[in-house]
C-alpha cells in the first residue's frame, strides 16, 4: 500500500514519499490514507492571450485544489517556464500540510502558468492573469479557493486577480486573494512575512542549539521575495550573510555582505547580483550552497539538494525558505550528517500565515498595525516550531517527518469528524 517514490526529481513523488512515512508512523486508517493521497480537483486552462505584437498565443495554466478538509483552498500562483501539473500538485499538497501544521483554517491549493515573465511585457502579464482568473472565476472565492503570489507573481498580479474576479461577480471581494497591495486590502507585513518567518525559525533553532546570532554565518540561495527579505531581516538582526545567489549566479564573501546595499543594487539599480560592486567572489549559484556556514537557506526553487550533492552540504542548520528544495532521496544523507532541519512546510509558513491574517482583516474590514501582524506571526511560528521539535524528540523522528505527522494528523482528525461523503 505504501509505494516508494522512484523518480527523485519528481516533486510530487518527493512530497508523497514524506506523506507515506508520516502515514505509516501515524498508523493512519487505510480509508483516510487513500482519501488524502489524491488531490481533490485539478483543472487545466488554455489561455488565449493577445501579445503586444498583435499575435495570439495560447498559454497553459493549472489549478490544483488538494484539500478543503480544514477550510478553503489556499495557495499561490506561479508564473514560470518549467511549471508542470506534477509540480503544481506537489505545491498544492504542501499547502495542505503547511496550513495544518501552523493550524490556520485553510486547505491546500496551488496554480501556475507556463510562461517566462522576463520575456513578457506588463500588459501581456496582465492579460494572462486576467484570462487565467476569468477561467477560474467560479472556482476561486473567499470560501472556496484563495490564491496568493509565488515565483514570478507579485502584489500587482494579485490586484489584477482581485479586479477580474470583481468584474465577473459584480462585487468587490478583497478576501478572494491575498498578497495584495496595501491600498487594496493587503496586510501590513505580508511582503516581508515569509522572510520574517524564516528568521523566526532561525532564531528558535539557534536558541535550541545554544548558538548566537552575532557572527552566525548564513548562506541564502534565491534573492527574490523570500531570499531578499530573509537576508535583510537576518542582516538587521546581527547574522552575517556570507553567500548569496540568484538565477544569474552566486557570490561569496566570508566577511559578510552589506545586504541593504545589495538590495539597492539588485532592486533599485536593477543590476545583476553577481556583478555586485561591493565585494564577493563570484561562483555558480549551486556552488554557493556548498560553502561552509552555520545556516543554509535555500529560498529559490525545488530540487537544489539531491542525493547527488547532499554530501557537500556543510551547515549546522538547514532552513528551507523555498518549497521542496531538498529531495526525499537526500533526506537520509542530511539526517546522517546531523544537520538540524527546518522543513519547508515550517520554514516558509510565515507567508501563508500572514495571508491568513490578510483574509481575516479583509473579511472584517478592519486592519491591524504592522506590530500586531508581526506579533501574531511570531506566536504562530514559535508555537509551530515548538510542536515540531516536541514531536520529533518524543517520537524519535527527524523534524521534517515530525512536521508531516503533526500536519497529517490534524487533517485526519478533521476528516474523521466530517466523515467521507463516499
Ligand atoms: P521570486 O520569484 O520572488 O524569487 C525567486 C528567486 O530565486 C529569484 O531571485 C531567482 O533569481 C532565484 N532563482 C530561481 N532559480 C534559481 C536557481 N536555479 N538558482 C539560484 N537562484 C534561483 O520567488 P519567491 O516568492 O521568493 O519564492 C521562492 C521560493 O519560496 C519558492 O519555492 C516559493 O514557492 C517559496 N515560497 C514563497 C512564498 C512567498 O510568500 N513568496 C511563500 C512560501 C514559499
Among candidate residues 405, 298, 327, 397, the one with its CA nearest the CA of residue 14: 327
Rounded Cα–Cα distance for residues 334 and 338 (Å): 7
Ligand 1 atom nearest 321 alpha carbon: 30
Mean pLDDT of 1-6: 40
Q: How much of the chain, in percent, has pLDDT values that exceed 70?
A: 99
Among candidate residues 390, 375, 200, the one with its CA nearest the CA of residue 297: 200
- 79's enclosing H/E stretch is strand 73-80
pTM above 0.85, yes or no: yes
Q: How far is the CA of 274 from the centre of ligand 1 (A)?
A: 17
Q: How far is the CA of 20 from the centre of ligand 1 (A)?
A: 27
Q: What is residue 65's DSSP assignment?
A: E
Q: Is the pLDDT of residue 1 over 80?
A: no
Q: How far is the CA of 168 from the centre of ligand 1 (A)?
A: 31
Q: How far is the CA of 148 from the centre of ligand 1 (A)?
A: 14
Q: pLDDT digit string (tens) for 359-397?
A: 999 999 999 999 999 999 999 999 999 999 999 999 999
Q: Which CATH fold topology does 187-388+397-422 show?
A: Rossmann fold (3.40.50)
- Where do the domains of the chain lie? 40-184, 187-388+397-422
Ligand 1 atom nearest 153 alpha carbon: 2
Q: Which residues does a 6 A CB cutoff place in the pocket of ligand 1? A: 149-152, 194, 221-227, 245-247, 285, 299-301, 321-323, 348, 351
Contact call for residues 1 and 310 (beta carbons, < 8 A): no
Mean pLDDT of 39-59: 98
Mutational pocket test of ligand 1: of 300, 302, 377, the residue with most ligand atoms within 8 Å of the beta carbon: 300
Q: Name the strands in the sheet holding 281-283, side by side, starting at the edge strand that comes first in the sequence.
A: 281-283, 249-252, 240-246, 217-221, 295-298, 317-319, 340-342
Q: pLDDT digit string (tens) for 82-138?
A: 999 999 999 999 999 999 999 999 999 999 999 999 999 999 999 999 999 999 999
Strands 108-114 and 281-283: unpaired
6 pLDDT band (50/70/90 cuts)?
A: low
The answer to whether 40-184 and 187-388+397-422 have equal CATH topology is yes
Q: pLDDT digit string (tens) for 149-200?
A: 999 999 999 999 999 999 999 999 999 999 999 999 999 999 999 999 999 9
Mutational pocket test of ligand 1: of 9, 90, 102, 226, the residue with most ligand atoms within 8 Å of the beta carbon: 226
Q: How far is the CA of 172 from the centre of ligand 1 (A)?
A: 30
- Shortest-distance Cα residue to atom 33 of ligand 1: 322
Mean pLDDT of 282-310: 96
Residue whose C-alpha cell is 556552488: 287
**Secondary structure (3-state) at 319:** strand
Rounded Cα–Cα distance for residues 198 and 201 (Å): 5
Among candidate residues 264, 216, 204, the one with its CA nearest the CA of residue 387: 204
Ligand 1 atom nearest 246 alpha carbon: 21
- Shortest-distance Cα residue to atom 40 of ligand 1: 351
Q: Is the pLDDT of residue 2 over 60?
A: no
Average pLDDT, the chain: 96
To the query of whether residue 212 is one of the catalytic residues in this protein, the response is no
Residue 131: predicted pLDDT: 98
Q: Which CATH fold topology does 40-184 show?
A: Rossmann fold (3.40.50)
Residue 135: predicted pLDDT: 98
Mutational pocket test of ligand 1: of 151, 192, 245, 304, the residue with most ligand atoms within 8 Å of the beta carbon: 151
Among candidate residues 340, 297, 290, the one with its CA nearest the CA of residue 317: 340
Q: Which of 74, 98, 110, 204 is catalytic?
A: 110
279 pLDDT band (50/70/90 cuts)?
A: confident
Mean pLDDT of 292-299: 98
Q: Is the pLDDT of residue 4 over 50?
A: no
Amino acid at each position: 500500500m505504501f509505494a516508494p517514490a522512484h523518480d527523485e526529481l519528481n516533486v510530487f513523488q518527493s512530497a508523497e514519499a514524506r506523506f507515506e512515512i508520516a502515514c505509516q508512523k501515524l498508523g493512519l486508517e487505510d480509508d483516510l490514507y487513500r482519501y488524502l493521497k489524491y488531490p481533490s480537483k485539478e483543472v487545466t486552462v488554455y489561455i488565449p492571450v493577445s501579445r503586444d505584437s498583435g499575435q495570439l498565443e495560447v498559454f497553459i495554466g493549472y489549478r490544483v485544489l488538494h484539500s478543503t478538509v480544514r477550510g478553503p483552498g489556499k495557495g499561490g500562483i506561479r508564473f514560470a517556464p518549467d511549471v508542470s501539473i506534477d509540480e503544481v500538485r506537489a505545491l498544492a499538497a504542501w499547502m495542505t500540510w503547511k496550513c495544518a501544521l501552523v493550524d490556520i483554517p485553510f486547505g491546500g491549493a496551488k496554480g501556475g502558468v507556463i510562461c517566462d515573465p522576463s520575456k513578457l511585457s506588463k500588459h501581456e502579464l496582465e492579460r494572462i492573469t486576467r484570462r487565467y482568473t476569468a477561467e477560474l472565476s467560479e472556482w476561486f472565492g473567499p470560501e472556496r479557493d484563495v490564491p496568493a503570489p509565488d515565483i514570478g507573481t507579485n502584489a500587482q498580479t494579485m490586484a489584477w486577480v482581485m479586479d477580474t474576479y470583481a468584474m465577473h461577480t459584480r462585487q468587490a471581494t478583497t478576501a478572494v486573494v491575498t498578497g495584495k497591495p496595501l491600498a487594496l486590502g493587503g496586510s501590513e507585513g505580508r511582503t516581508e512575512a515569509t522572510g520574517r518567518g524564516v528568521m523566526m525559525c532561525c532564531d528558535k533553532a539557534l536558541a535550541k542549539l545554544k548558538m548566537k546570532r552575532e557572527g552566525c554565518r548564513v548562506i541564502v540561495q534565491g534573492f527574490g521575495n523570500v531570499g531578499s527579505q530573509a537576508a535583510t531581516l537576518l542582516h538587521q538582526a546581527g547574522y552575517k550573510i556570507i553567500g548569496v545567489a540568484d538565477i544569474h549566479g552566486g557570490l561569496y564573501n566570508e566577511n559578510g555582505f552589506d545586504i541593504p546595499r545589495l538590495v539597492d543594487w539588485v532592486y533599485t539599480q536593477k543590476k545583476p547580483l553577481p556583478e555586485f560592486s561591493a565585494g564577493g567572489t563570484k561562483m555558480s549559484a549551486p556552488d554557493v550552497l556548498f560553502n561552509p556556514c552555520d545556516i543554509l537557506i535555500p529560498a529559490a526553487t525545488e530540487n537544489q539538494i539531491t542525493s547527488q550533492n547532499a554530501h557537500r552540504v556543510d551547515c549546522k542548520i538547514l532552513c528551507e525558505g523555498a518549497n521542496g528544495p531538498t529531495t526525499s532521496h537526500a533526506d537520509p544523507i542530511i539526517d546522517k550528517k546531523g544537520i538540524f532541519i527546518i522543513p519547508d512546510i515550517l520554514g516558509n509558513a510565515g507567508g501563508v500565515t500572514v495571508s491568513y491574517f490578510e483574509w481575516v482583516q479583509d473579511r472584517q474590514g478592519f486592519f491591524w498595525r504592522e506590530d500586531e501582524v508581526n506579533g501574531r506571526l511570531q506566536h504562530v511560528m514559535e508555537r509551530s516550531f515548538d510542536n515540531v521539535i516536541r514531536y520529533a524528540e518524543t517520537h524519535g523522528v527527524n523534524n521534517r517527518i515530525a512536521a508531516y505527522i503533526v500536519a497529517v494528523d490534524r487533517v485526519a482528525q478533521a476528516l474523521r469528524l466530517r466523515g467521507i461523503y463516499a
